[in-house]
Each structure stands twice: as structure tokens, then as C-alpha cells.
Structure 1
Amino acid sequence: DFDAQLGALSTGAARLQALAARYGSDELARWMAALTDYAERLTRAALAEVPDGDYAAEDVMEGAGGTLLPICARVSITGGEVTVDFTGSAEEQAASINAVAAVTRSAVAYCVRCLLPPDAPSNSGVFRPIEVVLPEGSIVNARPQRAVSAGNVETSQRVTDVVLAAFAEALPERIPAASAGTMSNFTFGGTRPGGEPFAYYETVPGGAGAGPDGDGESGVQTHMTNTANTPAESIENAFPVRVRRFELRDGSGGNGRHRGGDGVVREIEFLVDADVSLIGDRRAVGPPGTQGGEAAEHGENTLIRANGEREALAGQQQLRVGAGERVEVQTPGGGGWGKDAHD
């Protein structure tokens, strides 16, 4: 990741210098300012189409010991500007599900960006009509020294869910139901028979929420995650594991006029002893539907012993597995949209 970031920044700097050399730094700065101003105008225009008012939503993160931690958002629209207030959200936690302010603000900006035309530029101009109120010391604005590794990959998803749910009150015919709401992080590592260490990390897709125009997609990355699927052949070639199952989890999407997409089943068998780390949410409460649609199935994590015995695992858990044992990750589906006409 660091190499990719450094490479992107190096390439960007070189191209920016080339533009400055070709057009002059003053002219380049003028057009850069024009581009951010254009993004601001598009954002204000999109927000102006949302009826003025206050819209609120609440959802939960799953904390230690099964504790449900509220994430609250009040979205206030006034004349093409928006304030998103997270007052009432849970306090910061000892576990790593805390989000820093930058992550929460980015998730809010993403939600607003979803209201814009697809070809609208993404730059600082989008942020200008947006104010975000973040209580210090909360799960959405953790203070220094708090653990935050899952805040970016999990809590950001719930922030997205609650902000979009609040917008759904104002724009019921535009906003979809909640998607899987988790990246279902699956990490493992160990030592090969020859003594060489190995490590692997992936996020497992789930179901997309249904929308006013149709069913949700199945087995996809949604919202704050965009990693691609690693083919089973590649994993088995690179690591001492076997992919026993990777299939859609039929029926896990929420019912409704339009049905939520299904999650997936991912089952990995370990050919050597290994350490496994699971970080995933929506293992107790499934993604909600909207406009009368039903909630999707929540996810499940399971350890399958070599003799076939199954042992339920928590959403966030570290464990040691032996050769011949398997870990199964079942991801949530997406919520349904609209009341089923047959109900």
C-alpha cells in the first residue's frame, strides 16, 4: 500500500510539474481553482434538490461481548448546504473499531458525492457546503492513542449506512437500502514447511442493498471498499491453503418489492498451522431494508474442525488453526427496498 501511494504521488507530482512548465504556474493555479469551484457548484445544486429540513437515522456497531454501539446521524439541509451531526454516537472503545475524524468526514463526503452526477469531479470543492459535527472522544472521532485499525474498514461503513438512511427520509425514491455494511476482513499467516513465513489479507464481498430501480447486486464490494476478488487459483498457488468454497449465499438478501443482493460463502482450508484474524461487523444485526423492505441476513464466521465439528466464531476474533481445519466466512446480504406487493 505504501509503495502504491508513493508511486501515485511521484507520478502525480511529475505530471503537475509538466503542466506548470507547459502552461505556467499562474495559469495552472487558475484552472485548478476553477475546477474546485465547479465541484462546489455541482454539490450545492445537488443539495438544493433535497428538501430543507432535519433528517435522522441510527444504526449500530457490534462491540466487545455482543454490546451494540449506536452510530447516530442528524442531517440538516438548508439552502444547498448540509450539516451532519453525530451527537449521540457511542463513546470511543478499547477495541479497534474507533474511527478518526478524517475517516468519518470522508464517509460523509462520499454519501454527498453519491447525489452528484457520475462525471462530477471529486476534489475539495465537494467539501465546502458540508459541515460535520463530531463529538470528541466518540467512536466516530477517537482521540490519540485509541486503536483505530477497524475504524477505516468497518465503522466507515456504518457511517455511510446511517447518513444514507437519513437522506432516504428526504429522498425516498433515490436512496437504496443498506448494503452488507462490512468489509469482512480475513487475514491469516504462518510458516511454510520450509520455514518461510507467509501472510495474506483480503476483504470478502457481500450483498448490495436494493434500490428504487431494481434488485441489489450479489457478491460485490460496496461503499467504502473497492478491493477486487483474488482468484482461488492464485491464493492456492501462493499460500499453503485450499479454497473449499466460494459461492453466493442464496437467500441472504432482504425481501421487498426489490430484493437485496446475496452475500457470499468463503471457506478456506489450511494445509499448515496458521494464525487467523477476523474483523467483521453485521454478525448480530443484519443490514436494514428501507421503504418497507426487509432486513438482510447477518453474517456468520465458523471454525470447522478436521473432524467436521463446527464452532461459531465472533465477528472480531483471533485464533490459531491447525492443518486440516477450515474457516468459513458467510457475509451479509443487502437490505430490501419497498414493501413486497404480495404481502
Structure 2
Amino acid sequence: MGAVLRLSALSPNIKDRLDFSCAIFDAQGRLCAQAAHIPVHLGSMAYAMADLVTGREWQAEDLMVVNDPYLGGTHLPDVTVVAPVFQSQTLMGFTVTRAHHANIGAHSPGSMPVSTHLEQEGIVIAPSWLKRAGQWQVPLCRRLAGLEEHGTLPVETPRFADFSAQASACEAGARRLAELADQQFDLVAAFDALNAYGEKRARARIATLPDGCYRFQDYMDDDGQGQQGILITVSLTICGDQASLDFSGTADQVAGNINCPLSVAAAAVYYCFRCLMDDDVPACDGLFRPIKLSAPPGSLLNARRPAAVAAGNVETSSRVVDVVLGALAQAAPEAIPAASQGTMNNVAMGAGGDNGWDYYETMAGGTGAHAGGPGLSAVHSHMTNTLNTPVESLESHYPLRVHRYQLRRGSGGSGQFMGGEGLVRELEFLADAQVTLLTERRLFAPWGLAGGQSGAVGENRHNGRLLPPKASFTARPGDRLLVASPGGGGYRGRECK
């Protein structure tokens, strides 16, 4: 499915950066298999898919599309397409893709605005039929393409191309699963057995952690609307082979767009526990059954509509990982690294008009050192698993020139093992552009572990002028944007004085 999506997509964000995910679910919406794609996509789908697919009259060759964060999505650029899998007349399961669309109709290019309201972030797609019994639903397709709803199918419209690619990937996966079922392969029994095995392995690993309650807290830099030092706190309770996480005490939802639905917080929690497991443990619904979480309604991690959420999916999820790992480090200190860069360094830009363009990028940084060695330098970490846009692709698609792209020496935290280094990327604008930055770890540094030092905070600069973590500005030809990403925390170790 992933190969089909990558090879048929049009946008560099999907075909070059691989900002998409693919998964398989059973007929009840329980995760059964996933590609090694993006944790924030996959964990949130695992949490929300059952509510999305149950209670509907599915037909062969249907396709459903949704991006509503409060109805199974994450943030509006991440669009989910779902295809049912039938054997004869029996619903066997679902194939699902989720991909980030750089243009979803937001008020600013790149569709990652410094927003205060959900509708400012683009088109909100409630669960809708993209295809019904194999027939494209043309009015919706034209709306997704940014056109008037009356007319023909927008097959040649660039903005619709990535929707079509997602549909192709889902349909390819559905055909392959149906072929397995037709070969006397009992999919239902296999799905059930896989999830039972995943649950058994997860419970066995959790049972190795000492019982107790472990607490940790950290802060978001700001919400882009004047509020700084926004608290995220967790109480992690290990009892036998079960884990529960309570985020009570976390800040209320804010005016800016770092809020997130509970499904995004769940994705971060699931990811942290998956990292505790051996590599051969299947990432499936059973893996998450021993894990329970809660966050107060109306809080930063369980926001109420119509709170803005564009940065919650990318930035707040990263901080939830830091908080959960900080709590787990008290229970399993040798298994947990220091904090990684803790941000995706979101850069969105573009211009409207006849020659309009939309560019979106997340940038790598340092990962945390650990008991076994130093952190990695200039990699995407934790909740993102994308690549960079290659310089050749970036400069051929957009009116931009890359002046610098290098390691940020000295940004990793010191210790017996050093944190990984961040990077520096400097772009020159060759045309007018509206630019949005949604970044974190510019005020609160990635923490070290076991006495290791913190990594360096990141910096954003426009023509040398230091910018706040969340910013929007107009760039002119010849202007330069520099993003210096944070380094990872260091690890000192108990044997060091």
C-alpha cells in the first residue's frame, strides 16, 4: 500500500518526504497490521478507528474520507481514506491510509497557520463517502480539489491527485487481502490470533516493570497567542501487567493551536510503550489493551471543538512523548533515553494566485543519549518518521534556494554519552511568500538523563532577526530564513561523578 501511495502521489510532501501511513484493521476497527510509517498517524488511527467504521452500511468498493480531528482525525492536513475488504458478502476488515496534504484550504499557504479556530486551518471533512459502490462522489471530490461542487471529476487537478493516490493505495490493499481470504486463508481467525499474541507479549513486558506510581512533567514553549510555559503532566501507574496514565493537572486548552484530541495523546502513549517491546512484537490492537489513559475534557490533551489543533498533532504529541518517557525512566532507567529534540520544526510557506504554491517541511534534530551510547544527529525522531525534502526536489518545485544544510555542532547535551546534534537549514526566497513556523523547544530545552546536560534549544531567524517559536511573516525575494533545530539531551550515567 505504501509503495502504491508513494509512486502515485504528486506532492513532494508525500512522494519525497513520505508523510503518510498505511494500516490494516479488522471488521470491528481494531488495528491488525501497520507499515513502519508515522507513529502519530498510526497510534491515533488505532485509538479512533472503531468509532469511525462501526455502525455504517459498508458496500464493496466503498471509500470513506475524513480529517475532522474530533471525529477520528488528528489535524486537518492529515486526511484518512478507508476501504472495506469483503469476501463474498462478508465484511472482513479495512485498509486505511493517512497522508499529510500541504494544501487543505487553510487561511495561509502550507495549511499550518498560527490559528485560533479549527475552521481557519482548512476544509473540515466529516466522515463522508469519497466513493460509493465504486462511484466517485463528484461534488465532494471537486470540493476537495478546491473547485465549485458542480462539474466533472477533477482528475487532472493537482490538489486532487494525492486523494486519488490514497484511494489507489487503499484499493490495492483491499484486493490483496481479499485474495488471501479467497485462498482459504481465515483472515478473521488470523487477526484475532495476532491481537491475542500482541496482548500476551505486551502484558509480559509491562509485568517486568516495578509496580508503583511515577510522575513527570514538562512544558510547551507557547501557544502562539501569548501564553508561555504550558504544563503537561502525567501520573503513570504500573500494577502487575497493566499500565494506566492520568494526565490530570495538564493545562486547560489554549487559545492557540497546540491543542489536540485525545486520540493524538493516545498515539504518543502507545508509541512510548511500543518502544519498550522487542522488535518482533506486532504493532496491533492487542499491544495496547493493557494500557489505559485519561485526560480531562477541555484540557490541552482532550480539547473541545472548535479548538485549533494544527500544531497539537505535531508539537504537543512530541511533548507527550517526553513526559511519558520521563515517567518510564523512573521505572526502567536503563531502557529510556534522554529527551530528543521534542519538536518537528514545522515550516509552511507559499503563495496564492495563478502560480500559487504550497510547501511544507518538518526538520530533523538530535535524539537523546542513553545508557548504551550517544544520541543520533539530524534525524526525525519519535512521533514523526518522515524524511527531509531533498535539496534537488525542493529547488526544482519551489522558488527557494538552499544556502546551508549542515549539522549544528555543539547542540547535543554533554555527558558520558552526548546527545545528538541538531541541524541548520538556511533558505533564500526567490519570490514573495507567506511563511508560518510552528516550532517548540525554543524556550524549554530537551532534558538530559542520569545527570546528563540538556540539549541546546532551537532558533528561528528571518534575515538574522530572532523569531518566536510560533510565527507568521511575509518574505520578499532575497530574504533568508534560518532554522536551527534542538539537540538531544545527554546521558551521564551512575558510574560518572
For Structure 1 versus Structure 2, the TM-score category normalised by the shorter chain is over 0.9
Distance in 1, matches of 2:350 and 2:360, equals 9
CA-to-aligned-CA distance 1:94-130 (integer Å, 9 cap, x gap): 1110011111111101111011111211111011101
Structure-2 residue corresponding to 1:98: 259
Query: Is 1:127 matched with 2:288?
Result: yes
The range that moved more, 14-23 or 70-79, is 14-23
Q: Deviations over 1:145-172 (max 9, x none)?
A: 1101111111000000100110000111
Residue 184 of structure 1 pairs with residue 345 of structure 2: yes
SS at match of 1:149: coil
Please give the residue correspondences for 1:1-343 in structure 2 after superposition, counting only pairs within 5 Å. Answer: 1=99, 3=163, 4-23=165-184, 27-63=186-222, 64-65=225-226, 67-190=228-351, 195-304=354-463, 310-339=464-493
Kindly provide the amino acid, as one letter, of the partner of residue 291 in structure 1. Answer: A
The total of aligned residue pairs comes to: 334
Please give the secondary structure, in 2, of the residue aligned with 1:107.
helix
**Displacement, 1:65?**
2.6
SS in 2 for 1:237: helix
Residues 198 and 281 in structure 2, CA contact (< 8 A), matched pair in contact too: yes
**Residues 153-205 of structure 1 deviation map (CA, whole Å, 9 limit, x = unaligned):** 1100000010011000011111000000000001110269xx51111101010
Amino acid in the other structure paired with 1:131: K
State the 1:226 CA deviation: 1.0
Q: Which amino acid aligns with 2:203?
A: R
* SS of alignment partner, residue 269 of structure 1: strand
Contact 1:153 1:183 (8 Å CA) reproduced: yes
One-letter amino acid matched to 1:76:
T
TM-aligned CA deviation for residue 6 of structure 1: 3.0
Residues 232-263 of structure 1: per-residue CA shift (max 9 Å, x gap): 12211111111011101000010011100010
The 1-side partners of 2:482 and 2:431 are apart by 17
Q: Give me the whole-angstrom Cα distance separating, in 2, the residues matched to 1:99 and 1:118.
A: 29
Seq. identity, %: 45
Deviation at 1:338, TM superposition (A): 1.8
| Inter-partner Cα distance in structure 1 for 2:450 and 2:349 | 40
The residue aligned with 2:134 is: none
Whichever residue aligns with residue 470 of structure 2, its letter is Q
Shift of 1:214: 0.4
Is this contact kept in 2: 1:253–1:260, CA < 8 A? yes
Runs of 4+ residues over 4 Å off in structure 1: 339-343
Letter in structure 1 aligned against 2:218:
D
User: What RMSD, in angstroms, separates the aligned Cα atoms of the two structures?
Assistant: 1.6
2:489 partner amino acid: G
Inter-partner Cα distance in structure 2 for 1:274 and 1:95: 23
Q: TM-score, length-normalised on structure 2? A: 0.65
The amino acid across from 1:170 in the alignment is: A
Counterpart CA distance in 2 for 1:266 and 1:174 is 32
Any stretches of 5+ residues in structure 1 without a counterpart? 305-309
* Structure-2 separation of matches of 1:48 and 1:135: 27
